[in-house]
């Protein structure tokens, strides 16, 4: 199984000016997010990253499972402590994937609100799950979150994990060295966390394929709305014109989008 070398990754981080610690790399685990949350509650600082070659109980958004075939992707979760506006973290994480792909000359990628990363053909290349850990009474460690990022890398067409998915190999033919990709992903995430939000929001609007499209959105609770995606507000929420008013969508799945002209 091709795993990142934590020493090599640490060296790249230092060379790129990223102060984050050496990642913790394991062959297999239940969930990197669960492991990172445990580290967070034990006092880990921002930047502690857990990486696995395989997840046996990977999690996606809204309670779904995340398929993490052995050696086929890059599955990582990073601690972020005390970020003041946690609703922005999913958007920043998606931008970090975009930034890393640009930095290493990878495939052209876009974002579907809130944080799916799509290849140029509209298929999903990477997914993100941000999970918060609230401060517990009597526990001194501060509240924070973990940013889970799963990138499909080596899958061939016949081994893709779900309909509508793709992989780095399919989208770009050349699969990057995992040390380089992980290091650039962490460098990009660190940079996004310390960059002025207005700049990141402008970048997000530029690469978000959802904006300007006709959408159907499944909301938590089972309701569905239809309309046109207008914008992303300052907190990262989606603004949708449903034909009667502009609605603020805090959470939901964009299940259809027709790219606007």
User: What would the pLDDT profile of 198-252 be if each residue is shown by its tens digit?
Assistant: 999 999 999 999 999 999 888 887 788 899 999 999 999 999 998 888 899 888 8
Which tokens in the block code for residue 37?
């949350």
Instruction: Give the pLDDT band (50/70/90) at residue 135.
Output: low
> Rounded CA gap, 131 and 234, in Å?
20
Residue 261, pLDDT > 50, answer no
- CA gap 123, 112 in Å, rounded: 10
Q: Where in the chain is the domain with CATH 2.30.30.100?
A: 214-258
Could you tell me the pLDDT band of residue 157, with boundaries at 50, 70 and 90?
confident
In this prediction, residue 182 carries a pLDDT of 97
pLDDT of residue 1: 61
DSSP state for residue 18 in the 8-state scheme: -
Q: Strands, E, within 185-237: which ranges?
A: 214-218, 224-232
Global pTM reads 0.89
Record the tokens describing residue 174, joined without a space.
């050349």
- The answer, yes or no, to whether residue 106 has pLDDT greater than 90, is yes
Peptide bond into 46 cis (omega under 30): no
Share of the chain above pLDDT 90, in %: 67
Q: Which pLDDT score is estimated for 142?
A: 52
Q: Give the CATH fold of the 214-258 domain.
A: SH3 type barrels. (2.30.30)
List every span in the chain annotated with CATH 3.30.930.10.
6-207
pLDDT tens for 140-156 read: 445 799 999 999 998 88
Under a CB-based contact definition with an 8 Å cutoff, are residues 106 and 116 in contact?
Answer: no
Listed in sequence order, the residues at least 6 apart from 244 whose beta carbon sits closer than 8 Å to its beta carbon are none
Tokens standing for 164?
Answer: 């509508």
Which CATH fold topology does 6-207 show? Answer: BirA Bifunctional Protein; domain 2 (3.30.930)
CA angle 116/94/97 to nearest 5° reads 110
């Amino acid at each position: 199984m091709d795993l990142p070398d934590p020493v090599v990754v640490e060296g790249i981080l230092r060379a790129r000016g990223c102060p984050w610690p050496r990642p913790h790399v394991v062959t297999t685990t239940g969930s990197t997010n669960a492991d990172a949350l445990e580290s967070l509650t034990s006092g880990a600082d921002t930047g502690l990253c857990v990486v696995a070659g395989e997840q046996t109980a990977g999690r996606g958004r809204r309670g779904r499972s995340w398929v993490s075939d052995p050696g086929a992707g890059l599955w990582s979760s990073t601690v972020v402590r005390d970020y003041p506006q946690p609703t922005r973290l999913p958007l920043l994480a998606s931008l970090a994937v975009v930034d890393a792909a640009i930095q290493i000359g990878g495939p052209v990628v876009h974002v579907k609100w809130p944080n799916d990363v799509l290849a140029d053909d509209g298929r999903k290349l990477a997914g993100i799950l941000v999970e918060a850990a609230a401060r517990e009474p009597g526990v001194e460690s501060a509240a924070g979150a973990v940013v889970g990022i799963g990138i499909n890398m080596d899958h061939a067409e016949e081994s893709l994990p779900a309909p509508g998915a793709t992989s780095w190999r399919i989208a770009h033919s050349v699969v990057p060295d995992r040390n380089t990709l992980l290091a650039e992903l962490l460098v990009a995430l660190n940079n996004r966390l310390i960059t002025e939000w207005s700049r990141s929001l402008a970048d997000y609007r530029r690469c978000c394929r959802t904006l300007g499209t006709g959408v159907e959105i499944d909301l938590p609770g089972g309701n569905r709305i239809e309309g046109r995606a207008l914008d992303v507000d300052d907190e990262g929420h989606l603004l949708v014109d449903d034909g009667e008013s502009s609605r603020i969508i805090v959470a939901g799945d964009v299940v259809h989008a027709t790219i606007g002209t």
